[in-house]
Chains A and B, each alone.
Chain A
């Protein structure tokens, strides 16, 4: 989880990723951010997030994102 937080924080240092739960709905992250994230997550966790998982539910909070990563790692 820590690594993920680092990645997120580096992307947008001004955002509080611990509490913000509407990263997508609130337009905090845009499509560029998303692909940078995915690329970094791939680096860090060795998982590929498929396109159909790029939905608000998975990206609205750091928590949700981490859960996604874990799920993909299990498969």
Chain B
């Protein structure tokens, strides 16, 4: 992390200097230089900056690549070597600093923003270091932008009782989700997914559903804790989720789930690639060669595939994540292509906007996402597809009715807690649609507020699935 911070600091300062120099120069010589001369000058500066940018990217992303993906590369190389029966490379023992994927991206975002001239670089090394290493974000994000975070991070902080209250409540709510719901249902998820031989057919479906609950509760819970901690200090961190399971399409889902990651990839990978000169040239040629319709789609498809490949591999150094990313891409592209058919359908049947249809869309999106996420459950591509298949070939309702649910590591009491927990989650989300629940609570009756907080706290302590036998420190995104 230190290397990343130092390199980025030095280079951004340099880039910033170039920006300033250019602006001053252009200003001074506004009248005297011709348009072309101005353009030429800009190009020179830009070229210099680009070199610096690339150097810094190389270092920052290089560190990430080496520490995180070396062993993945080695295992793939070994697979090839095995074909030739030659000596395999041994794996390296590399330590992965916590949050490396998150803070590297956050840093790169800052670097590119400075390069683009969005804002001047931070001259204070301490401040930059704080931005990169801001601890609540290291485990699961969110990935912040420098202009957003620095404003609130370095501002004057007065002890604001309201912020402390809201922050603490948010932290409590996050722990509730993580300890009472996510860590509890994790036991069942693990039983199913770690034993694909014995749990097939309907169990795969159950595993998928349970995993959706677990991932949601764990991830959003962790983010709640992060945002809550920041809030106690008066720092406003960006939201990362917006009731994602109410989405009506996969595209919408990715605007509501892990929001900061989505926008990061959009601003720093998707847009740059899709409107880069090579891409534009390619789109031009494909338009002339393959016709308007196809040509138009080329930049979109290529960029999308690249972005989703990157998203996949960012999640983890293994093939199942890459396939997962590409599957998301595939579904999104397909739904885009089907748009005209959907329009025709809706024009015929006039269902768009009805409650029933919206409900259908929500369910469809939910099931689709659960299915794609199966690659996350069984960390192996082959197994994932195989298990998915068994849902259709080996489905037997009777499997469940013989008390199998109680053999997954959870007892009846656990299921009651989970059921109530999920209901609370859904109700909370429903309520949140019309505004921040905590703020609404502020205006509610005093006793009720305190009662809710006390009950939450006691629930977390008593019902939390922690302790010997449980381990609540397995934040799912922690290998980042």
Name A residues whose Cβ lies closer than 8 Å to a Cβ of B: 30-32, 34-36, 38-40, 42-43, 48-52, 54, 75
With A and B bound together, what is the CA distance between A75 and B40 in angstroms? 11
Top 6 A-B residue pairs of the complex, sorted by shortest distance between their CB atoms: A35-B274, A52-B116, A51-B271, A38-B275, A39-B283, A42-B280
With A and B bound together, what is the CA distance between A38 and B276 in angstroms? 10
With A and B bound together, what is the CA distance between A45 and B281 in angstroms? 14
Contact B39 A51, beta carbon cutoff 8 Å: no
> A43 touches which one: B266, B271, B284, B300 (CB < 8 A)?
B284
Contact A30 B280, beta carbon cutoff 8 Å: no
Chain B residues near A49: list those with CB within 8 A: 275
Name B residues whose Cβ lies closer than 8 Å to a Cβ of A: 39, 113, 116-118, 251, 266-267, 270-272, 274-275, 277, 279-280, 283-284, 287, 296, 299-300, 303-304, 336
Contact B299 A51, beta carbon cutoff 8 Å: no
Among residues of B, the one whose C-beta sits closest to the C-beta of A54 is B271
With A and B bound together, what is the CA distance between A52 and B114 in angstroms? 11
Extra inter-chain contacts (12) besides given A32-B304, A49-B275, CB under 8 Å: A34-B271, A35-B270, A36-B296, A38-B274, A39-B280, A40-B296, A48-B275, A48-B280, A50-B116, A51-B267, A52-B118, A54-B271
Among residues of B, the one whose C-beta sits closest to the C-beta of A38 is B275
Chain A residues near B299: list those with CB within 8 A: 35-36, 39
With A and B bound together, what is the CA distance between A38 and B280 in angstroms? 9
With A and B bound together, what is the CA distance between A31 and B274 in angstroms? 10
Chain B residues near A50: list those with CB within 8 A: 116, 275
Chain A residues near B270: list those with CB within 8 A: 31, 35
In the assembled complex, 16 residue pairs joining A and B whose CB atoms fall closer than 8 Å, in A order, are A31-B271, A32-B304, A34-B271, A35-B300, A36-B296, A36-B300, A39-B283, A39-B299, A40-B296, A48-B275, A48-B280, A51-B271, A52-B113, A52-B116, A52-B117, A54-B267
Among residues of B, the one whose C-beta sits closest to the C-beta of A75 is B39
Contact B275 A35, beta carbon cutoff 8 Å: yes
Chain A residues near B296: list those with CB within 8 A: 36, 39-40
Q: Is the interface of B mostly helix, strand, loop or mixed?
A: helix
Q: Report the minimum CB–CB distance from A55 to chain B (whole Å).
A: 10
Among residues of B, the one whose C-beta sits closest to the C-beta of A37 is B275
Among residues of A, the one whose C-beta sits closest to the C-beta of B38 is A75
Q: Report the minimum CB–CB distance from A57 to chain B (whole Å).
A: 14
With A and B bound together, what is the CA distance between A39 and B270 in angstroms? 13
Chain B residues near A48: list those with CB within 8 A: 275, 277, 280
Tell me whether A51 and B303 are in contact in the complex, defined as CB-CB below 8 angstroms, given that A38-B274, A75-B39 are known contacts: no
Chain A residues near B283: list those with CB within 8 A: 39
Contact A51 B300, beta carbon cutoff 8 Å: no
With A and B bound together, what is the CA distance between A34 and B303 in angstroms? 13
Chain B residues near A39: list those with CB within 8 A: 274-275, 279-280, 283, 296, 299
Contact B284 A51, beta carbon cutoff 8 Å: no
Chain A residues near B304: list those with CB within 8 A: 32
With A and B bound together, what is the CA distance between A40 and B300 in angstroms? 12
Chain A residues near B336: list those with CB within 8 A: 32
Chain B residues near A31: list those with CB within 8 A: 266, 270-271
Among residues of B, the one whose C-beta sits closest to the C-beta of A34 is B271
Among residues of B, the one whose C-beta sits closest to the C-beta of A74 is B35
Chain A residues near B275: list those with CB within 8 A: 35, 38-39, 42, 48-51
With A and B bound together, what is the CA distance between A51 and B280 in angstroms? 14
Residue with the highest number of chain A CB atoms closer than 10 Å, among B113, B118, B280, B284:
B280
Contact B271 A35, beta carbon cutoff 8 Å: yes
Chain A residues near B116: list those with CB within 8 A: 50-52
Q: Report the minimum CB–CB distance from B4 to chain A (whole Å).
A: 22
Q: Report the minimum CB–CB distance from B182 to chain A (whole Å).
A: 31
Among residues of A, the one whose C-beta sits closest to the C-beta of B275 is A38
Among residues of A, the one whose C-beta sits closest to the C-beta of B113 is A52
Among residues of A, the one whose C-beta sits closest to the C-beta of B272 is A51
With A and B bound together, what is the CA distance between A31 and B255 in angstroms? 11
With A and B bound together, what is the CA distance between A5 and B280 in angstroms? 21
Q: Report the minimum CB–CB distance from B231 to chain A (whole Å).
A: 26
Chain B residues near A75: list those with CB within 8 A: 39
Among residues of B, the one whose C-beta sits closest to the C-beta of A31 is B266
